[in-house]
Amino acid sequence: MKKTVILAVIAIAATTIMATSGFSQSPPTDEERTKAIGEIAEVQKFFMMPMRDGVRMATDIYLPKDASGPLPTIFWKTPYNYNKLSGPWLTVIEAALEQGYAFVMQNERGKFFSEGTWELLGLPRTDSYDALTWIAGQSWSNGRVGTLGCSSSAEPQMALAAMNHPAHAAMVPMSPGAGIGRVGKFYEQGNWYRGGAEQMFYLPWLYPVQLTEGPKFPSDLSDEDRLRLSTYFDLAPSMPPIDWAKLIWHLPIGEAMLEANGPKGIYAELFARKPNDEGWYQGGLYHDDEDIGVPALWAFTWYDFSISPNLALFNHVSETAPDPEVRDNQYVVIAPGLHCSFFRNESPLTVGEQEMGNIDFDYMGMIFGFFDKWLKGDDSNFPADTPKVQYFAQGANEWRSAEVWPPATAQPVTLYLQSDGHANSLFGDGRLTWDAPGEDGGFDAYTYDPATPVPSLGGGICCIGNAVEGGSFDQRGIEARADVLVYTTEELSADVNVTGYVEVTLYVSSDARDTDFTIKLIDVYPDGRALNLDETIQRARYRDGYESEVFMEDGGIYEVTLSVLSTSNVFRAGHRIRLEVSSSNFPRFSRNLNTGGDNYNESEFVVAHNVIHHSADYASRMVLPVIDE
């Protein structure tokens, strides 16, 4: 019996005894858990690991005391402060030590106790490569390293995997979207863009993260003094609080960091870049012209800001990796919940206002079973028949599996946008129909005013302060607006299982040279609640691709295919399927000021009068991947 199982049995027994005895016990504090780790591991704090250019990275090393022989290693790299461990870090370190792994945690260059100057995504790429070389060369190492981490600790993993270090045996990138530059039709460039429109969460996220000014310990400080002083100073800044719900409205958006009196850094530079700027291809982002050289277990969530490009990358590696062993050993878990919520969620789960029920999944067991296979050569905890895709089907509220994404049984079913000319708002006559429009089909018109954009409500978002809460919420308040077109099916007579990529094509007109078009997929409950599943946006100037800008002319009709939505949702009998169409979703996405200018450096705007066409010649439509239940 494995040590983790024994500990779990003991914990359950102890809990039962205390409950029946009338006693209760508080869960251990982070300090207590950290002390307990010190009792089962040899810990070296703030080892200064040298890079090829002489700059040294602050590194903590944990070696299990009861291990025998060379050890496999889990490597976790982060830009965040871990001087005082908490939450998921402690959970992962404890699990790694119990399973007989060394655990190495390192700060990115220029962050906290690491020397050098910080750049986004832990540049230079060679730092991670050099860290693996150092680990593999230690007497306690078996030469095999697995990389692990969520969000900022996942994002550098793809670029490292493209370098194919001989010690890099496997990786587990969790919610890694901000490390993906271009993959297929997605030119998100680290989630900076969606459909050519800026994602506004970067303003609050970079406010503390891009801070590179501040005190640093001298480079000739002894290891003993560095460790001693770290108990006094952890170099974490105390940033003045910001009301992001207010400040995020600032124009020009390229100067919003200055308005926040934020730290100097890369914010303004990145906002000035267009989706295909050459600067995106000179940094730490992974692009699809590079190979992935290691087996991977990917972990995504439905309400993340990057679910669609994440899935596109999983498919890209599964289909194109030149090494068959790598190509055939790509796995993905798609969980309910928000960005990086894997170890925080408990059953029953509610995401916003969406009840998910029992969402239990043994993430830790799967992760270490996967690492056991590739770092220890022991596949007993990762069976050969492990599904390539495991996903949570919302609506049905259960885990399901497939061998490819989307599941091979998903078939395209088309719904067409139609109305009698007044789809404006929830109270209009917009319809989604299974039949294509006839020759007498028409159009719906609305006004988009950047001064009063459609407010964001939930969705796949994080890291945006108090401006937006992510998740699924009743959209009826949003749908009451005249600048939101609402298209809805009749009540469903049977369940409709939509699992895969949802594709939407609109035929549009505008009197503005440039504007945006937004969509939102909605599950409408019998009581009228309209809960959002996924959303996206497309800047019209990039409708033909991101290599060049093509502006609209007044009176022209243009085809706009938006970036795909991704979901697994069973629309139950009695529910309805709805599509919202508008031209803003702020502050989830930046406001298009409709001038055709650079947008990031503008304060003046134009009101756009936009049209969605739905006729035989201009059949605006949504294609759903439907699996027969």
pLDDT reported for residue 85: 83
Distance CA(7)–CA(28), nearest Å, equals: 15
pLDDT reported for residue 23: 43
Q: Check 114, 151, 509, 510 and give the catalytic one.
A: 151
pLDDT in tens, 264-307: 889 999 999 999 999 999 989 999 999 999 999 999 999 999 99
List CB contacts of 528: < 8 A, sequence separation 6 or more. 476
**Is there a catalytic annotation at residue 304?**
yes
pLDDT reported for residue 243: 97
Could you tell me where the beta strands, DSSP code E, fall in 317-397? 330-338, 349-351, 354-357, 389-393
Query: In this model, does residue 33 exceed pLDDT 70?
Result: yes
Query: In this model, does residue 503 exceed pLDDT 50?
Result: yes
Distance linking the first and last C-alpha atoms of the chain:
39
Percent over 70 (pLDDT), the chain: 96
In Å, how far are 139, 526, 546, 569 from 572, measured between CA atoms?
A: 58, 9, 38, 9
Q: Which CATH number fits domain 411-627: 3.20.20.70, 3.10.290.10, 3.30.465.10, 2.60.120.260?
A: 2.60.120.260
pLDDT reported for residue 6: 32
pLDDT reported for residue 181: 97
**Is there a catalytic annotation at residue 128?**
no
**Is there a catalytic annotation at residue 566?**
no
In the chain, the amino acid numbered 272 is A
pLDDT reported for residue 5: 35
For the ranges 79-83, 305-309, 311-315, the lowest mean pLDDT is seen at: 79-83
Distance CA(116)–CA(54), nearest Å, equals: 10
Query: In this model, does residue 90 exceed pLDDT 80?
Result: yes
Q: Check 127, 130, 304, 514 and give the catalytic one.
A: 304
pLDDT reported for residue 484: 98
pLDDT reported for residue 587: 98
Domains 3-189+273-345+360-396 and 411-627 share a fold: no
pLDDT in tens, 337-360: 999 999 889 999 999 999 999 999
Map 576-601 to HEC letters.
Answer: EEEEEEECCCECCECCCCCCCCCCCC
pLDDT reported for residue 2: 41
Percent over 90 (pLDDT), the chain: 85
Tell me what the pLDDT averaged over the chain comes to. 93
Query: In this model, does residue 136 exceed pLDDT 60?
Result: yes
Q: How many CB atoms lie within 10 A of CB 50?
A: 12
Token pair recorded at residue 13: 């027994």
pLDDT reported for residue 209: 92
pLDDT reported for residue 388: 98
Distance CA(99)–CA(368), nearest Å, equals: 8
Confidence class of residue 217 from pLDDT cuts 50, 70 and 90?
A: confident
Query: In this model, does residue 8 exceed pLDDT 50?
Result: no
Q: Check 165, 339, 613, 614 and give the catalytic one.
A: 339
Listed by start position, the domains of the chain span 3-189+273-345+360-396, 411-627
Query: Could you give the 3-state DSSP secondary structure of residue 3?
Result: helix
Contact between residue 330 and residue 317 where contact means Cβ atoms under 8 Å apart: yes
Q: What is the mean pLDDT of residues 240-261?
A: 96
Q: What is the mean pLDDT of residues 218-239?
A: 85
Q: What is the mean pLDDT of residues 117-144?
A: 94
- Output 419 or 228, whichever has higher pLDDT: 419
Strand partners, 612: 444, 508
Confidence class of residue 627 from pLDDT cuts 50, 70 and 90?
A: very high
Contact between residue 534 and residue 518 where contact means Cβ atoms under 8 Å apart: no
Q: Which CATH number fits domain 3-189+273-345+360-396: 1.20.950.20, 3.40.50.1820, 3.30.2320.30, 3.40.50.620?
A: 3.40.50.1820
